């Protein structure tokens, strides 16, 4: 009876088209038809309905498909010709919400079309052996099409929440003298602290056209910091932040948070704002925005990236508990990071950047700069896409910033431009200044050296590989050229232009006598109380280069 009815449908009505009326077609044709309908729904949603089902539904779906393709084409054109606008749309809270809703609607509509396509296929007409293959093809197509859109909506929503958590909704900032200057502060906001007392302070100065970047590291123990013009703290400390050894630049955050927050009405983080003003006045440049980085969360971000690769110049201890705070002496190290090439996970990278046992703060600053460079170098688009959710979730635990989310597009665009360029760097202390400079700074010299560094990181320097890591030569107002014997400069035969690249060092893995340095050797010296011998063996641990 059923067979007779199907035959009447196909032949009795004179409708013999096997695409719309498959009942009278051969089994091989029905199977081929089923796979074609699945493929049509995957490649051109709505076309299967147009040729084999409800034409009204097919036309509506096809119009939606063409509109979606048009939006994709516009997005691709923006990605090529105005990438920052595209990113700003996706980073904007309202714009990204609209895109999420659109993606979810498209995913749901596409899923409905796949279900409708299954009805059009009429699996009961297929040969039993063909049914599993068709079912698998349809499910895979559903996951590839509708599932991809749904997952994209999910990731965009994750990004939207992370951006809303980290960045502000304030006005965009403008470049000053052709540069954006950002203050990076790293520290811990522990239960015993009010606010976050920064253990590291770095200014990232980025050329607004080329993305060429310079990093200026300010020691946490810098004294006599000058507040910028217009800072309310300048009325309290008109001659600089100078009240003895307690007035270190990293204490400003806590002091303002505890005592002077009322001077910054409407400011979300007065301590961070005041620290930014102190760094601005000290360096003689305008720092427009800050990023606060929680160092414990920082480890999670590095883990989300899959670790970072570096070349370490010397052994770095994972220090034990402090047993003599006055002299900075710790107990037996919990472990060591050897000299040589490594992929560091988050915890080891955190130790590597923060350990200062057996060396001074400036060696630690050099390692922190290296970690920053390694992250900038290794957070490429492939890593970001592959680990997007983990990186976004880790970011919400790492950072807080007064950077406007409306300006993320232009900054991401600059980061892409900067990808192939060398990063210039300078430390306000050794090796670029005398060790006593941070205690009794010469601000005229400091401003001059900062100007020189930024000039070397200007538009004319972008793309020149030979000027890598241009920093002023210690004790001079100049920089020395890589690859040129220092004796020629010392003799006055050549002007100084740039310093040798820090990546040229050789990791110190043996003692002066040629004996391999090992963890057991270092620990034995520690047990003997021979701190000086350890200092001699690990003195090179400030040398570091990203890989």
CA 232, CA 255: separation in Å to the nearest integer? 14
Give the three-state DSSP class for 292: strand
- Measured between its terminal Cα atoms, the distance across the chain in Å is 75
Alpha-carbon distance of 32 to 41, in angstroms, equals: 14
Q: Long-range contacts of range 64-72, CB-CB < 8 Å, 24 or more positions apart?
A: 64/106, 64/109, 68/106
- The confidence score (pLDDT) of residue 471 equals 40
DSSP 203: E
- Report the relative pairing of strands 335-337 and 544-546 from DSSP bridges: unpaired
| CA–CA separation, 96 and 153 (whole Å) | 9
Instruction: Say if residues 246 and 253 touch (Cβ distance below 8 Å).
Output: no
Beta bridge partners of 203: 183, 216
Residue 217 CA to its chain's centroid (Å): 19
pLDDT digits (tens, 9 = 90+) for 90-146: 777 788 889 999 999 999 999 999 999 999 999 998 999 999 999 999 999 999 999
Question: Helices 93-121 and 55-81, interaxial angle, to 10°?
Answer: 140
Please calculate the CA angle 367-320-248 and round it to the nearest 5 degrees.
Answer: 55
| Residue found by looking up tokens 């920093």 in the block | 471
pLDDT at 172: 73
Q: Please give the sequence-ordered ranges of beta strands (E in DSSP) within 288-376, or none if there are none.
A: 289-294, 308-312, 316-318, 322-324, 329-330, 335-337, 340-344
Task: For residues 456 and 475, give the distance between their C-alpha atoms in angstroms, rounded to a whole number.
Answer: 18
Asked whether 163 and 93 are in contact (CB, 8 A), the reply is yes
Extract the tokens encoding 472: 């002023």
Residue 392: per-residue pLDDT: 66
- Residue 328 has φ and ψ, to the nearest 5°, of 65, 35
| Per-residue pLDDT tens over the stretch 37-79 | 999 999 999 999 999 989 999 999 999 999 999 999 999 998 8
pLDDT along the chain (547 residues), means of 10: 45 60 86 93 93 91 95 91 80 85 95 94 91 94 94 85 68 82 73 56 87 87 90 91 82 90 89 92 90 75 85 90 74 90 90 86 82 75 62 63 69 72 83 85 92 80 40 37 30 32 76 90 90 90 87
């Amino acid at each position: 009876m059923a067979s007779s009815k199907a035959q009447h449908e196909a032949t009795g009505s004179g409708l013999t088209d096997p695409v719309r009326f498959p009942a009278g077609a051969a089994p091989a044709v029905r199977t081929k038809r089923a796979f074609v309908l699945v493929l049509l729904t995957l490649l051109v949603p709505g076309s299967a309905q147009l040729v084999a089902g409800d034409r009204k539904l097919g036309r509506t779906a096809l119009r939606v498909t063409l509109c979606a393709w048009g939006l994709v084409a516009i997005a691709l054109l923006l990605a090529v010709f105005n990438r920052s606008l595209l990113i700003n749309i996706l980073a904007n809270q309202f714009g990204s919400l609209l895109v999420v809703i659109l993606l979810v609607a498209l995913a749901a509509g596409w899923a409905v079309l796949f279900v409708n396509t299954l009805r059009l296929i009429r699996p009961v007409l297929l040969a039993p052996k063909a049914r599993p293959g068709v079912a698998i093809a349809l499910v895979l197509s559903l996951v590839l099409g509708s599932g991809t859109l749904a997952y994209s909506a999910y990731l965009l929503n994750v990004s939207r929440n992370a951006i809303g958590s980290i960045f502000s909704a304030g006005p965009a900032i403008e470049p000053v003298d052709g540069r954006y200057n950002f203050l990076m502060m790293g520290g811990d906001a522990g239960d015993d602290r009010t606010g976050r007392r920064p253990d590291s302070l770095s200014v990232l100065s980025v050329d607004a056209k080329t993305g060429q970047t310079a990093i200026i590291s300010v020691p946490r123990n810098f004294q006599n910091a000058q507040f910028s013009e217009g800072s309310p703290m300048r009325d309290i400390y008109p001659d600089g932040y100078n009240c003895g050894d307690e007035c270190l630049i990293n204490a400003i955050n806590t002091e303002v948070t505890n005592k002077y927050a009322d001077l910054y009405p409407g400011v979300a983080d007065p301590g961070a704002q005041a620290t930014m003003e102190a760094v601005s006045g000290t360096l003689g440049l305008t720092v427009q925005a800050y990023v606060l980085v929680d160092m414990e969360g920082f480890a999670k971000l590095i883990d989300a990236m899959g670790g970072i690769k570096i070349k370490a110049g010397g052994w770095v201890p994972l220090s034990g508990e402090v047993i003599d705070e006055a002299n900075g002496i710790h107990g037996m190290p919990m472990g060591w990071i050897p000299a040589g090439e490594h992929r560091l996970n988050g915890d080891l990278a955190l130790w590597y950047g923060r350990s200062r046992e057996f060396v001074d703060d400036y060696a630690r600053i050099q390692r922190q700069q290296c970690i920053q460079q390694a992250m900038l170098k290794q957070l490429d688009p492939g890593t970001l896409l592959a680990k997007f959710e983990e990186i976004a979730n880790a970011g919400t635990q790492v950072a807080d910033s007064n950077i406007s989310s409306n300006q993320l597009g232009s900054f991401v665009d600059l980061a892409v431009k900067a990808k192939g360029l060398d990063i210039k760097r300078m430390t306000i202390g050794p090796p670029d200044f005398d060790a006593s400079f941070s205690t009794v700074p010469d601000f005229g010299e400091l401003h001059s050296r900062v100007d020189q560094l930024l000039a070397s990181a200007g538009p004319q320097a972008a793309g020149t590989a030979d000027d890598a890591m241009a920093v002023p030569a210690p004790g001079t107002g100049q920089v020395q050229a890589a690859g040129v014997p220092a004796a020629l400069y010392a003799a006055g035969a050549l002007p100084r232009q740039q310093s040798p690249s820090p990546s040229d060092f050789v990791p110190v893995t043996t003692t002066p006598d040629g004996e391999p340095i090992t963890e057991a050797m270092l620990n034995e010296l520690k047990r003997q109380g021979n701190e000086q011998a350890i200092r001699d063996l690990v003195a090179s641990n400030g040398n570091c280069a990203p890989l």
